[in-house]
Amino acid sequence: MFIGAYTALVTPFTRDGKLDLPRLRDLVEFQIEEGIDGLVPVGTTGESPTLDYDEHIRVVAETVAAARGRVPVIAGTGGNSTAEALELTRRAKEVGAQATLQVTPYYNRPTQTGLIKHFSTIADIGLPVILYNVPGRTACEIAVETVATLARHPRIVAIKEASGNVDRVSRILDGCAIEVLSGDDALTLPMMAVGAVGVISVASNVVPRAVGDMVRAARSGRWGDAQTLHRRLYPLFRDLFVETNPQPVKAALAMMGRIEESYRLPLCEMAPDHRERLASTLRSLGLGKIHT
């Protein structure tokens, strides 16, 4: 149902820390013009933990409006509390999101039974659900057996796999009726080699066409072309995670003149040596004048 390259959108802020909706609309247009398959606002890359409830829904609504039905919008509406995730998901559905990305509840670390109840309750709303397994941020993994149980729900259609474990993709596809999307740019190609159908990407904020071309090449069996693109993009995949995401990707977009470099604490500007390393990588990709 959701195949291809999807961008985990940053949330642009003005210099004084408010939502920068004109820049958000510009980013959406840039992504669509460059051939991205879909958009994922207010996930981890969209700094969802620092957006209040109204801002969260405003970003989803603005993304849906700017996309104008040209690509699907998968709203990040997960939460630590099932009640909060339910309310965000209902509101996202009301403003036109086509699906929801549901991160594993963090900090409270539910049991696998708790995860089944949490995700199933949200899926009952009726929006297609993409599970988001990212144990490095949540300290809680969705077990493969739990994925298999959840996949029986007609609205749980895919999983974003950001465990850093390609073997898990094989294990999921061996026993679960569900699509897998890579959650790690650097592992997109190896995950697709064993059956994943695409990526929810950070790097495609910066190079949407190149990431899309890599995924399309792999999907059509042009593995040589996909490998060439992977090798070209790998330094960017690496350097966008030299510090906590989304600090590097927002810095990169600011260097390209697409957004203001503005974060909400506790996220902050990159260290100078990391910034120069990232700028050098951007220049090597021929992305135009890079302002540091």
Is residue 222 packed enough to be buried (19+ CB in 10 Å), middle (13-18) or exposed (0-12)? Answer: middle
- Sort strands 4-8 and 74-76 into parallel, antiparallel or unpaired: unpaired
Radius of gyration of the chain (CA): 18
With CA atoms as reference, report the closest residue to 78 among 21, 6, 149, 129: 129
**pLDDT tier for residue 57 given thresholds of 50, 70 and 90:** very high
Instruction: Identify the burial level of 268 via C-beta atoms within 10 angstroms of its C-beta, where 0-12 means exposed, 13-18 middle and 19 or more buried.
Output: exposed
Q: Is the pLDDT of residue 106 over 90?
A: no
In this prediction, residue 290 has a pLDDT band, given cuts at 50, 70 and 90, of confident
What integer best gives the mean pLDDT of the chain? 96
Distance of CA 2 to the CA centre of its chain: 13
The pair of structure tokens assigned to 89 is 């998901």
Is residue 263 annotated as a catalytic residue, yes or no? no
Terminal CA-to-CA distance of the chain, rounded, Å?
A: 40
- What would the pLDDT profile of 199-233 be if each residue is shown by its tens digit? 999 999 999 999 999 999 999 999 999 999 999 99
Confidence of residue 237 (pLDDT cuts 50, 70, 90): very high
Peptide bond into 246 cis (omega under 30): yes
Options 93, 160, 250, 263, the catalytic residue: 160
Model confidence at 291, in pLDDT bands (50, 70, 90)? confident
Listed residue (165, 174, 166, 82) closest to 129, CA to CA:
82
Q: Note the pLDDT of residue 173.
A: 96
Is residue 271 over pLDDT 90? yes
pLDDT at 76: 98
Identity of the amino acid at 57: I
Give me the mean pLDDT over the 119-135 stretch: 97
Is 160 labeled as catalytic in the residue annotation? yes
Which pLDDT does position 107 carry in this prediction? 86
Distance between CA atoms of residues 92 and 70, nearest Å:
18
Question: For the whole model, what pTM was predicted?
Answer: 0.96
pLDDT of residue 155: 97
Query: For tokens 């995401």, what's the residue?
Result: 245
Q: Please identify, in words, the CATH class of the domain defined by 4-222.
A: alpha beta
Average pLDDT on 150-178 reads 96
pLDDT in tens, 1-13: 899 999 999 999 9
* Alpha carbon distance 30, 91 (integer Å): 26
- Confidence band for 49, pLDDT divided at 50, 70 and 90: very high
| Catalytic position from the list 6, 132, 250, 263 | 132
Beta-bridge mates of residue 159: 131, 180
Per-residue HEC secondary structure of the chain comes to: CCCEEEEECCCCECCCCCECHHHHHHHHHHHHHCCCCEEECCCCCCCHHHCCHHHHHHHHHHHHHHHCCCCCEEEECCCCCHHHHHHHHHHHHHCCCCEEEEECCCCCCCCHHHHHHHHHHHHCCCCCEEEEECHHHHCCCCCHHHHHHHCCCCCEEEEEECCCCHHHHHHHHHHCCCEEEECCHHHHHHHHHCCCCEEEECHHHCCHHHHHHHHHHHHCCCHHHHHHHHHHHHHHHHHCCCCCCCHHHHHHHHHCCCCCCCCCCCCCCCCHHHHHHHHHHHHHCCCCCCCC
Provide the pLDDT for residue 292: 81
Band of pLDDT at residue 124, cut at 50, 70 and 90:
very high
Q: How confident is the model at residue 289 (pLDDT cuts 50, 70, 90)?
A: confident
| Residue % of the chain over a pLDDT of 90 | 94
